[in-house]
């Protein structure tokens, strides 16, 4: 018995030694951790990974995360790549430039190395970062990012807010370190970028967006990283038949990292090339998995490591088309040649006809393009000072499809500049499409003017122009779709529910005033709207104001304070000084806004012929009430309560100042926006004080003024324009 026991131990030892020489893992090795498959030569316990290199020893923790050292593994590629998650290094500063918190990372690579499929990236303004590696040959690289103002949201990683560089680290590096830093201490930077981030990531996996990444890097603290691995430090020629490539179905190839080798399956085989068992390289059936090129799948026959196409008796295989042909096919060839020649002739004729048809259609589209002011639009958009032009050109067919052939049921409104349709684009987004009146060439200039003006505006309270179509008989403009009608509808119509509250009306007034202040003072080229009225103020589902209809607007050159133009506007809102002199300036918009504010306060129309002769105009109506101390009679009684009368009186005073006869006596829109925002802030402060008596409240008027002077950010609202009836009043 003892002899037999010794013999069995010896056999077991021999077999175990043989497996070790072959480089094969035990049969009971762990093959997965969480959702990650563990591929040999990697493993999680002795006897399961390639024993000559502990870099292949991975750990599966209690969270079922597969770890290389302390780095989480994403997947293992037998071709020599290990993808892992790597944390971001960061440094955060306060407004005085002092470091408040941060983290840089030193990562040990063992016998693995950084792949050249990675890039080193820094996110931040006025910042720089280093990548250093330690090994037989040290390596350093870095990147600098500088910006004078918040970069454009989709500006790309081009050195403004973000910088990236390729990684060419030498092979055999033991470890690497990433470190971010801040350049200088400009306080303007910290308003939008308190932190600097540095990280290595696989090429193409990070796409910089300033609005999302400068604040908090989209709350992402790790990125995928590619590491290269190989077996040993000898080439395939040097290692010979001692490689650990599993079977005769796998071959050795020299590693791209410059040292060692890797294995791969032969053509026609799939599996792990390092294993010799059923998980190693196994023959695949090309005929069943559609990896053959036989013209008729029924002729495909699988072989070990390949396939062939088998033709039935009397047929031969045409290797050009991989199809079966009759062996005697002389007459068939002649007939086929004649058929091909005839079809070719038909194809040529058809091609010529199509070319002529396309040319005629192109000429017609070009004619309409020029007729609809396309040349004028291109010239103006390419002129000096045009900085935000980003107009999408829609096709005639796309517009016809989106409006169901301009069906009457899609009409949202009709007025002086044409008809507005509801459109549904191929991506199911809803838009509003304005179509000029057929045969009215005078509208072309206004359409082109609206494109020109809206291309200069980037504001959350201005209806966004998405694009235009000029290849149709009449021009079309495409806008975002706003779904809650106009301010006119809410004040004077019956299509909506309960009337607007005082708080909502005050907020809407602040939003309109802030928008006009932005157009006058903050746009790249000052803009005068010239037709401010409640019918041109749209409301979205949150009752947020959206200023619309810029067909009558004008861009004011920086060296001019006013323009002499043909008088244009809407009666009731038209500035009397502009009407008498034809001199247009920003105070004309101030007057119109004053009328809109009076409408918000009184719920009365700008012109009403049912009122007494001297009070038909709303300005005179409210002015008389002020003088006769009967203001409460003209203010909408639904707005008045014991807590807001002073605010209403102050708002009336602002409206009266805006509608003074002489433009010089009217305030600027920035001043109007600040006063109205001050009313909102004061109201919020009083409400806070009433709720929490005795506590101090912060004076937010300064903040309100900044907000009123123009929020130029684009908020990404998915708002839509759902106008039951577009009120186009006289005077357009």
Residue 731's pLDDT band (cuts 50, 70, 90): very low
Q: Which domains does the chain have, with CATH numbers?
A: 21-78+232-282 (no CATH), 83-228 (no CATH), 285-332 (2.10.25.10), 374-482 (3.30.200.20), 487-721 (1.10.510.10)
Residue 369's pLDDT band (cuts 50, 70, 90): confident
Closest CA to 431 of 392, 461, 458, 471: 392
Residue 420 in this model has a pLDDT that exceeds 80: yes
Residue 560 in this model has a pLDDT that exceeds 60: no
Residue 686's pLDDT band (cuts 50, 70, 90): low
pLDDT at residue 95 in the model:
75
Each residue's pLDDT tens digit, 192-220: 678 899 999 999 999 988 888 888 887 78
Tokens of 317: 């295989």
Residue 189's pLDDT band (cuts 50, 70, 90): low
pLDDT at residue 76 in the model:
94
Query: In the beta sheet, which residues pair with residue 577?
Result: none
Give the DSSP letter of residue 457. -
Residue 330's pLDDT band (cuts 50, 70, 90): low
Lowest pLDDT segment from 156-170, 244-258, 307-321, 590-604: 307-321
**Residue 498: burial class (beta carbons within 10 Å; 0-12, 13-18, 19+):** exposed
Helix (H) or strand (E) holding 60: strand 59-60
How far apart (Å, rounded) are the C-alpha atoms in residues 513 and 541? 20
Name the residue with higher pLDDT: 623 or 559. 623
Torsion angles phi and psi, residue 34, rounded to 5: 65, -125
- Compute how many other C-beta atoms are within 10 angstroms of the C-beta atom of residue 361: 12
pLDDT at residue 397 in the model:
86
Instruction: Single out the catalytic residue among 213, 228, 489, 531.
Output: 531
Provide Rg for the chain, Cα atoms.
37
Catalytic residue list contains 690: no
Q: What is the mean pLDDT of residues 648-654?
A: 94
CA-CA-CA-CA torsion sign (305, 307, 308, 312): positive
CB-facing half-sphere around the CA of 98: CA atoms within 13 A: 2
Tokens of 327: 């062996």
Q: What is the mean pLDDT of residues 398-425?
A: 87
pLDDT at residue 600 in the model:
95
Residue 408 in this model has a pLDDT that exceeds 60: yes
Helices marked H in 382-486: 396-402, 442-454
Closest CA to 577 of 446, 667, 665: 665
Each residue's pLDDT tens digit, 515-548: 999 988 887 678 888 889 998 999 999 999 999 8
Closest CA to 531 of 708, 728, 665: 728
Q: What SS3 class is residue 72?
A: strand
pTM for this entry: 0.46
pLDDT at residue 105 in the model:
80
CA 403, 408, 411 angle in degrees (round to 5)?
70
Lowest pLDDT segment from 6-10, 92-96, 712-716: 712-716
CB 36 within 8 A of CB 66: yes
CA-CA distances (angstroms) from residue 395 to 377, 424, 432, 601? 16, 14, 15, 44
Question: Which residues make Cβ contacts (< 8 Å) with residue 28, sequence separation at least 6?
Answer: none
Question: Which single residue is written with the structure tokens 């002011």?
Answer: 373
CA 433, 435, 440 angle in degrees (round to 5)?
165
Lowest pLDDT segment from 111-120, 444-453, 668-677, 696-705: 696-705
CB 621 within 8 A of CB 611: yes
């Amino acid at each position: 018995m003892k002899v037999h026991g010794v013999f069995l131990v010896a056999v077991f030892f021999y077999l175990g030694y043989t497996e070790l020489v072959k480089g094969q893992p035990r049969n009971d090795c762990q093959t997965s951790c969480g959702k990650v498959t563990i591929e040999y030569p990697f493993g999680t316990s002795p006897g399961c990974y390639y024993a000559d290199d502990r870099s292949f020893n991975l750990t599966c923790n209690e969270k079922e995360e597969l770890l290389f050292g302390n780095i989480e593994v994403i997947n293992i590629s037998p071709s020599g790549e290990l993808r892992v998650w790597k944390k971001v290094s960061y440094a955060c500063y306060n407004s005085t430039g002092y470091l408040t918190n941060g983290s840089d990372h030193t990562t040990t690579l063992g016998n693995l190395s950084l792949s050249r499929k990675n890039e080193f990236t820094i996110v931040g303004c006025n910042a720089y970062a280093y990548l250093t590696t330690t090994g037989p040959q040290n390596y350093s690289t870095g990147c600098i990012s500088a910006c004078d103002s918040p970069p454009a949201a989709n500006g790309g990683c081009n050195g403004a807010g973000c910088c990236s560089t390729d990684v060419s680290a030498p092979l055999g590096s033991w470890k690497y370190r990433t470190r971010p830093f801040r350049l200088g201490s400009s306080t303007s930077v910290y308003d939008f970028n308190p932190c600097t981030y540095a990280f290595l990531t696989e090429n193409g996996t990070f796409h910089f967006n300033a609005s999302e990444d400068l604040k908090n890097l989209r709350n992402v603290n790790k990125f995928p990283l590619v590491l290269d691995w190989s077996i040993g430090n000898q080439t395939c020629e040097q290692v010979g038949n001692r490689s650990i490539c599993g079977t005769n179905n796998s071959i050795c190839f020299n590693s791209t990292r410059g040292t060692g080798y890797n294995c791969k399956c032969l053509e026609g085989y799939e599996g792990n090339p390092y294993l010799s068992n059923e998980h190693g390289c196994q023959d695949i059936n090309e005929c069943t998995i559609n990896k053959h090129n036989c013209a008729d799948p029924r002729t495909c026959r699988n072989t070990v490591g390949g396939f062939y196409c088998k033709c039935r008796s009397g047929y031969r295989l045409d290797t050009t088309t991989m199809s079966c042909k009759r062996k005697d096919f002389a007459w068939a060839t002649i007939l086929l040649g004649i058929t091909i020649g005839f079809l070719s002739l038909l194809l040529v004729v058809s091609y010529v006809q199509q070319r002529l048809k396309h040319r005629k259609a192109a000429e017609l589209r070009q004619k309409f393009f020029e007729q609809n002011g396309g040349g004028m639009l291109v010239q103006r958009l390419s002129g000096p000072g045009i900085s935000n032009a980003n107009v999408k050109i829609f096709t005639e067919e796309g517009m016809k499809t989106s409006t169901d052939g301009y069906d009457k049921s899609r009409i949202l409104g009709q007025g002086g500049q044409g008809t507005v349709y509801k459109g549904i684009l191929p991506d199911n987004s809803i838009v509003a499409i304005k179509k000029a009146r057929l045969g009215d060439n005078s509208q072309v200039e206004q359409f082109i003017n609206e494109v020109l003006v809206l291309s200069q505006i980037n504001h959350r309270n201005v209806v966004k122009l998405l694009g235009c179509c000029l290849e149709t008989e009449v021009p079309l403009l495409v806008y975002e779709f706003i779904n809650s009608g106009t301010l006119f509808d809410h004040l004077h119509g019956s299509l909506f529910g309960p009337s607007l509250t005082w708080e909502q009306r005050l907020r809407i007034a602040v939003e309109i005033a802030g928008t006009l202040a932005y157009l006058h003072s903050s746009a790249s080229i000052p803009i005068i709207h010239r037709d401010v009225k409640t019918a041109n103020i749209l409301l979205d589902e949150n009752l947020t104001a959206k200023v619309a209809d810029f067909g009558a607007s004008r861009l004011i050159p920086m060296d001019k304070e006013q323009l002499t133009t043909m008088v244009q506007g809407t009666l009731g809102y038209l500035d009397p000084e502009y009407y008498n002199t034809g001199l247009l300036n920003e105070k004309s918009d101030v007057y119109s806004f004053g009328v809109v504010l009076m409408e918000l306060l009184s719920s009365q129309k700008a012109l009403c012929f049912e009122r007494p002769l001297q009070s038909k105009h709303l300005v005179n109506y409210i002015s008389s009430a002020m003088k006769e101390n009967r203001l409460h009679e003209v203010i909408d009684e639904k707005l008045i309560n014991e807590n807001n009368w002073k605010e209403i009186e102050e708002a009336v005073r602002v409206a009266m100042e805006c509608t003074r006869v002489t433009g010089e006596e009217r305030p600027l829109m920035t001043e109007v926006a600040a006063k109205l925002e001050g009313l909102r802030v004061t109201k919020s402060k009083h409400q806070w004080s009433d709720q929490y008596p005795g506590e101090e409240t912060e004076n937010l008027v300064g903040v309100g003024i900044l907000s009123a002077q123009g929020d130029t950010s684009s908020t990404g609202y998915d708002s839509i324009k759902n106008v039951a009836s577009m009120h186009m009043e006289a005077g357009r």
